[in-house]
Amino acid sequence: MNSSVIIFPGSNCDRDMDVALKKFGFKNKMIWHNDTELPKSDLVVLPGGFSYGDYLRCGSMASKSKIIESVIKFAKSGGLLLGICNGFQILTETELLPGALLKNKYSEFICKNVFVKINNTENNYFKNIKKNILELHIAHNEGNFFCSSDQMKNINDNNQIAVTYCNKDGKINNNSNPNGAINNIAGLFNKQKNILGMMPHPERMIDTYLSGDDGSVFFQNLITNLK
Amino acid sequence: MEVNESLAIEHGLNKDEYKKICDLLKRIPNITELGIFSAMWNEHCSYKSSRLHLKNLPTKGKKVIQGPGENAGVVDIGDDDAIVFKIESHNHPSFIEPYQGAATGVGGIMRDVFTMGARPIANLNSIHFGSTQHKKTKSLLRGVVRGIGGYGNCIGVPTIGGQTCFDESYNGNILVNAMTLGLVKKNKIFYSKAAGINKPVIYVGSKTGRDGIHGASMASAIFDEKIEEKKPTVQVGDPFTEKLLLEACLELMAGDSIIAIQDMGAAGLTSSSIEMASKGKLGIELNLNKVPCRELNMTPYEIMLSESQERMLIVLENGKEKEAKKIFDKWNLDFSIIGKTTVSKKIELFYDEKKVADIPVDTLVENSPMYDRKWKKTKLPKKNKINKDSFKNLKILNVLNKLLSNPNICSKEWIWQQYDHTVMGDTIQKPGSDAGIVRVHGTNKAVAATVDASASYCYAHPLTGGKQVVCESWRNLISVGAEPIAITNCLNFGNPEKEKSMGEFVECVQGLGEASKYLNFPVVSGNVSFYNQTKEKGIKPTPSIGGIGLIKNYKDMITMGFKKIDNLVFVVGKTEGHLDQSVFSRDILNIKNGPPPEINLFNEKNNGETVLSLIKKKFIKSAHDVSLGGIIVALAKMCIKGKKGIEIKKPKQLINQFQYMLAEDQGRYIVEIEKENYKQFKEILEKNSVHYDELGVILDKYIVIDDKTKISIDDLILSNNNWLKKYMES
């Protein structure tokens, strides 16, 4: 399986993603933001970080970068496109995903483990996944997902919610919502379910000595589904 | 502008220093030259009050590749890998403008590390604030934490540990000390020593603005009520540019075009160019019209003294300019050839084709002032007589609950949750542990790092306090199973022109020198911050020690949480019952005087090495050093982390329960072992003549002292975790 990770100036989870993808069997290539063409890929990843410093709205500069046209083309033709953290923010800025990611409710950066419940398994990311609650790690300042009520209706009608923040027993409530995201949304699909944006970082949870191992469950399942 | 004595004094120089400058130059300096002298000769850059004493510190060792004097220290961790590390203060700017002050402190220390060719792999910090009752404390804490996070998180380097202290002596002078560790291959370390004549001198990074002019002089001044006016001298950080600079520099360093490289930190272009010239024993000529400027009409004076962030100076091999420029273009950074190396041994500056400064380098460096300041010894205070009556109305578990929510003991999760501590995917022990640990990427090795300070001990008796901080650092590393390697120190003190403050400095340095020599734990880098004083009130003497250690196989690391019910718990090291200067004495009995606990270096070393050997034999399941709050707090923290309880045996002690449980005697560790290892465990301790007491047996969910005295772990967690969060939200 071939994957590509896009590096924007200011990306800082690009290497972590490269390590994770390779660990689970992807042949990964790193693609510079000023390139215009993507190599043949089964999966394209927009990694976490602070693309172009994120001094404007997070992800907005990246959504105008040179490489992004090819990324959009790839996704619109059905290619698997995964955005983690800043990558999720870029996906909303390019309007490949609806809504926006606002400042966390208490406007503080949050770095901690959270639990998310998988809401939809009829897609290449979560099909046949062995767990329905994953313990993942978040590290962001702007992860408070927000959208209009019309957008929310579409999201629900098309079953686009991918993962929601919950407690360890799967209960979805305010206490388990770390950033104020509407309906506890932690990750979202497009209508076709080939694009996934997620605030949590599975690439930081790929062995038991790290903050946890549920990232392995995610990547292992993903590559198995693609094979 | 006419240069004269009073202008020199405005620049922070004294009369004698100004006279010396005129004598050395054999003329009156012009304004640019005066600015350069004032920057190079202030305390921050010249170490004029501290040099004499610092040279007694042990700086050598088998694993030391580079000691003090470079951008950072370097130690060998085997297999051609080396760790570059240093701690530095950014106290004055952080008090004036907490966000930017703290942010640029983090940025500056990371630059020191990647200047040497190392990719930063971990950040730590030691922060000290005034009393929690003081009106400024909350906003300063919030600003500093956001600043540290804002910078480190953006660069993508995990913040893996730190230390926070509240004490009224910092009401008018907070401390922000930032530490960075970087990883480098031994044969790819870069130094600041220029070499060769007619080599191009390159400026890269951000443009130069008017920010931070005289920042280094501000750092060497006492605060007064006009402090807010100094806001414009605080630099503004741009972590995004630093990230680009980091990647661009490392890309250039992969080749062989760099002769010398130096970041522009305190005193900017002045100190970076002069240091490179001085170390290489040659001259540097700069054309200031070539310096990329952010603002119009900047004068040579301003260009030379600006402390704009995220800039580097490089001496390149001839003919490599194009190749280097290509890399900086790729990362969208300024790249300008601003001068060359010369044989003159002078710093010569040109602006609009006129020579605007002409100073022999040695007058700025070798001939800079060095003072043997007067200092006063601190007598060892008398011990307080503690009798049973002192504890009459106290219940041990109430005391424990109080201590767990004491600002200096409670969980600092509110702080470190705002720091990205997991980026780079190698953090295997997070903040809140005895030491933070990161793996050496792609290997089985891991590096442990800790930062410690014990201002109350240092204040009570600087000599003992100085020793204690080094020992504490060593213990924290051993507690996670790491072999201690070396330390970096950040020495925060008051006004060195006052005999008392100078005495605190001299004796703390002496103490930390003695301990680091005895423990073979050399000092490889550091910085001194004097004048932490507002009007007449100085801070408590606060040396912050950053220690690092190596774990050969990261899977063997030790954590502090209790592991298994029925395992046995021991305290290694003798409990004498020393209560003076303990948190219990100071904050609960309200007895603030008395000596700090004694340091016995022989026991310290023997106990530490014995615990490490037990860890290597895999007898130890969890470990934690005994520090603030004594045995009872240490046990509670192990319970909290492991979500287990303990049944505390009635120990065969000769002293009162309060003294036994709350004393802060040094050189002690609490360890958990399995029952079947008891015999061997005991034999090793006895063979090494290490004292130990059995404390109890691990059980589920409660700390039990006797039938009537027990408390649930959930209650302890509440006391420990909520205090800071509630305080910040109130």
| pLDDT tens figures, B295-309 | 999 999 999 999 999
Q: With cut-offs at 50, 70 and 90, classify the pLDDT of residue A196.
A: very high
Whether residue B531 contacts residue B578, with contact meaning beta carbons closer than 8 Å, is answered with no
Q: Would the pLDDT of B215 be above 80?
A: no
Say yes or no for a CB contact (<8 Å) between B146 and A206: no
Which residue among B241, B417, B554 sits closest to A111, beta carbon to beta carbon?
B417
- Closest by Cα among B73, B72, B83 to B183: B83
Mean pLDDT of all residues in A65-80? 96
Q: With cut-offs at 50, 70 and 90, classify the pLDDT of residue B219.
A: low
Helix (H, G, I), strand (E, B) or coil at B206: coil
Whether residue B642 contacts residue B508, with contact meaning beta carbons closer than 8 Å, is answered with no
pLDDT at A63: 94
How does pLDDT run across B544-563, given as a tens digit for each residue?
999 999 999 999 999 999 99
Which residue among B424, B439, B555 sits closest to A16, beta carbon to beta carbon?
B424
Rounded to the nearest angstrom, the minimum Cα separation between A214 and chain B is: 14
Q: What value, to the nearest 5°, has the Cα angle with vertex B370 and ends B365 and B371?
A: 165
Q: Spell out where A17-99 has E strands.
A: 27-32, 43-46, 80-84
CATH superfamily of A2-226: Class I glutamine amidotransferase (GATase) domain (3.40.50.880)
Q: Would the pLDDT of B602 be above 90?
A: yes
Q: Would the pLDDT of B69 be above 80?
A: yes
Between the alpha carbon of residue B284 and those of residues B225, B343, B348, the distances in Å are: 41, 8, 6
**Given the residues A13, A58, A85, A147, the one annotated as active site:** A85
Say yes or no for a CB contact (<8 Å) between B425 and A204: yes
Mean pLDDT of all residues in B47-72? 95
Could you count the other beta carbons within 10 Å of the beta carbon of residue A95?
A: 10
pLDDT at B73: 97
Q: Which of left, alpha, beta for B382 (phi over 0: left; psi -120 to 50: alpha)?
A: beta
Q: Is A122 a catalytic residue?
A: no
Rounded to the nearest angstrom, the minimum Cα separation between A43 and chain B is: 21
Q: With cut-offs at 50, 70 and 90, classify the pLDDT of residue A165.
A: very high
Nearest CA in chain A to B148: A109
Whether residue B36 contacts residue B278, with contact meaning beta carbons closer than 8 Å, is answered with no
Mean pLDDT of all residues in B372-384? 95
Say yes or no for a CB contact (<8 Å) between B417 and A211: no
pLDDT at B265: 85
Mean pLDDT of all residues in B570-587? 96
Determine the Cα–Cα distance for residues B573 and B600; give it in Å rounded to an integer: 11
- Closest by Cα among B474, B566, B464 to B521: B474
Across the A:B interface, residue pairs with CB atoms under 8 Å apart total 84
Say yes or no for a CB contact (<8 Å) between B155 and A201: no
Rounded to the nearest angstrom, the minimum Cα separation between B425 and chain A is: 5
pLDDT at B266: 83
How does pLDDT run across B460-493, given as a tens digit for each residue?
999 999 999 999 999 999 999 999 999 999 999 9
Query: Token pair for residue B509?
Result: 């340095």
pLDDT at B233: 66
pLDDT at B224: 64
Rounded to the nearest angstrom, the minimum Cα separation between B418 and chain A is: 5
Instruction: Give the lowest-confidence range in A218-222, B44-48, B387-391, B503-507.
Output: B387-391
pLDDT at A164: 98
Q: How many CA within 13 A on the CB side of residue A143?
A: 32
Write out chain A residues lying below 8 Å of B422, CB-based: 111, 137, 139, 201, 204, 210-211
pLDDT at B317: 96
3-state helix, strand, coil in chain A (%, to 5): 30, 30, 45
| Burial class, A77, CB count within 10 angstroms (exposed 0-12 / middle 13-18 / buried 19+) | exposed
Write out chain B residues lying below 8 Å of A109, CB-based: 146, 149-150, 153, 418-420
Q: Would the pLDDT of A155 be above 90?
A: yes
Using an 8 Å CB-CB cutoff, list residues of chain B that contact chain A.
Answer: 146, 149-150, 153-156, 238-241, 243-244, 331-332, 416-428, 430, 439, 554-555
pLDDT at B212: 75
Q: Where exactly are the structural domains of chain A?
A: 2-226
Mean pLDDT of all residues in B224-237? 68
Full strand arrangement of the beta sheet holding B427-429: B427-429, B436-439, B446-452, B542-551, B483-492, B523-529
Mean pLDDT of all residues in B591-614? 97
- Distant-in-sequence, close-in-space partners of B641: CB < 8 Å, separation ≥ 6: B559, B560, B561, B562
Mean pLDDT of all residues in B496-524? 97
Q: What is the mean pLDDT of chain B?
A: 94
Determine the Cα–Cα distance for residues B135 and B434; give it in Å rounded to an integer: 31
pLDDT at B210: 87
Concatenated DSSP letters of B557-597: ---SS---TT-EEEEES------TTSHIIIIIS----SPPP
Say yes or no for a CB contact (<8 Å) between A109 and B554: no
pLDDT at B226: 63
pLDDT at B235: 79
Q: Would the pLDDT of B653 be above 70?
A: no
Does B1 or B297 have the greater pLDDT score?
B297
- Closest by Cα among B68, B67, B17 to B43: B17
Write out chain A residues lying below 8 Å of B331, CB-based: 9
Mean pLDDT of all residues in A110-127? 96
- Closest by Cα among B72, B184, B105, B104 to B447: B184
In DSSP terms, B128 is beta-bridged to B165, B175
Between the alpha carbon of residue B652 and those of residues A72, B482, B603, B630, B678, the distances in Å are: 73, 32, 21, 17, 18
ipTM value for the complex: 0.96
Helix (H, G, I), strand (E, B) or coil at B627: coil
Whether residue B191 contacts residue B258, with contact meaning beta carbons closer than 8 Å, is answered with no
Write out chain A residues lying below 8 Å of B554, CB-based: 209
> Which of A32, A109, A206 should be substituted to probe chain B, the one whose Cβ sees the most B Cβ atoms within 10 Å?
A109
Q: With cut-offs at 50, 70 and 90, classify the pLDDT of residue B708.
A: confident
Using an 8 Å CB-CB cutoff, list residues of chain A that contact chain B.
Answer: 9-10, 12-13, 15-16, 19-20, 48-50, 52-55, 108-112, 137, 139, 141, 201, 203-204, 206, 209-211
Which residue among A49, A112, A137 sits closest to B156, beta carbon to beta carbon?
A49
How does pLDDT run across B662-675, given as a tens digit for each residue?
999 999 999 999 99
Write out chain A residues lying below 8 Å of B555, CB-based: 209
- Closest by Cα among B240, B253, B212 to B113: B253
What are the φ and ψ backbone dihedral angles of A110, each rounded to 5 degrees?
-120, 125
